[in-house]
Structure formats: C-alpha cells, structure tokens
Chains A and B, each alone.
Chain A
C-alpha cells in the first residue's frame, strides 16, 4: 500500500512535468518519469509473488515472470520514445528559436 502510494506520487510528478512545465526538455523528463513509474509499479507488485528470480533450477518458488518480460520491452521502447521526442523538440527549437512552449505557440502564429 505504501509502495503503491509512493509510485502514484512519482507518476503525478511525471504528469506535473508534462502538463505544467513550459520547457520542452522538462516535458520529456516527465515522459521518462511516467515510464519509470509504470515499470516500478509492475516490478514491485510482482516482486511479492515468490522467493527467487524466474530462472529454473534454483529450487525456490519463482516470482511471476510475465510482468518482467513486459517491462523489459517497455524500458527499451521508453528510451526510443525519449529520443524521438527530443528529436521533435530539436526540430521545434530550430524552427522557432525557443524552448518555451508558449513562446513557440506565439511565434508559430497561433498565439
């Protein structure tokens, strides 16, 4: 319960960065934090379901391997999404000369 609440708070920190921060790189920080909050939730929840790592031959009851397999791919995808988002941010910066989202909106003529 406590662990879940802390992970929930971590998720909200990521959401806060995504919604309230005006700097584009800060928004990407928010995406990274959201990703790690989701990964942490899955692994922490699955961690209580056994005594040993999911490798056969140890003689212990293993933890559930399915969340681990899913989160493995989620981490690799997460870093690619980060790179793509920073690429977009760079493109916007080159086009408008600013990293502030309000400023970018103004300079693109929608302000």
Chain B
C-alpha cells in the first residue's frame, strides 16, 4: 500500500517536472501533496497530514499560480 502510493507520488512529480505547461505541473504538485497527506494519515501522523493538506492544496498552489501568471506560462524549449 505504502509502496503503491509512493510510486504514484513519484509518477506525478515526474510529470510535474517534464510537462511543458507549468500550470499542469502545479496541479500535479498539488496531487503530490494530496497523496502525501493521505499517506501521512495512514502512517499515523495526523498532525503532519493536516499541515501538508492545508499547505499543499492551498498556500503553495496560490504562490505558484501567482508566479506563473506574472511570468510566462509555457516553457519555451
């Protein structure tokens, strides 16, 4: 179970790093946070799960979306 979720986290972060559209990458990173917080809850760390959920879904996404909106959305390569 733990390994499967870790594998999903790995794939999502690979997608975030390799996608051309930075906004898609941001959404994938919030998916990483969501899966991590589920995993923390399963592994008996409820405090860390609350923090990760609030930070990953809310704060970090807002910060990234600000950066992408005020710079360029696509990676010109």
Contacts and interface: CB of A to CB of B under 8 A. Distances in A.
A and B: direct contact (Cβ < 8 Å)? yes
Interface string B49-77: 00110010001100110111011100111
A44 to B, nearest CB: 6
Interface residues of B, number: 40
B51 A76 contact: yes
A82 B63 contact: yes
* Majority secondary structure of chain A interface residues (helix, strand, loop or mixed): helix
Contact of A72 (B2, B7, B48, B63): B48
A71 B63 contact: no
A38 B25 CA distance: 20
Given A29-B25, A32-B29, A79-B63, A90 B55 contact: no
Interface in A9-61: 9-10, 13-14, 16-17, 21-26, 28-30, 32-33, 36, 39-40, 43-44, 46-47, 50-54
Interface of B: 2-3, 6-7, 9-10, 13-14, 16-17, 22, 25, 29, 32-33, 36, 39-40, 43-48, 51-52, 55, 59-60, 63-64, 66-68, 70-72, 75-77
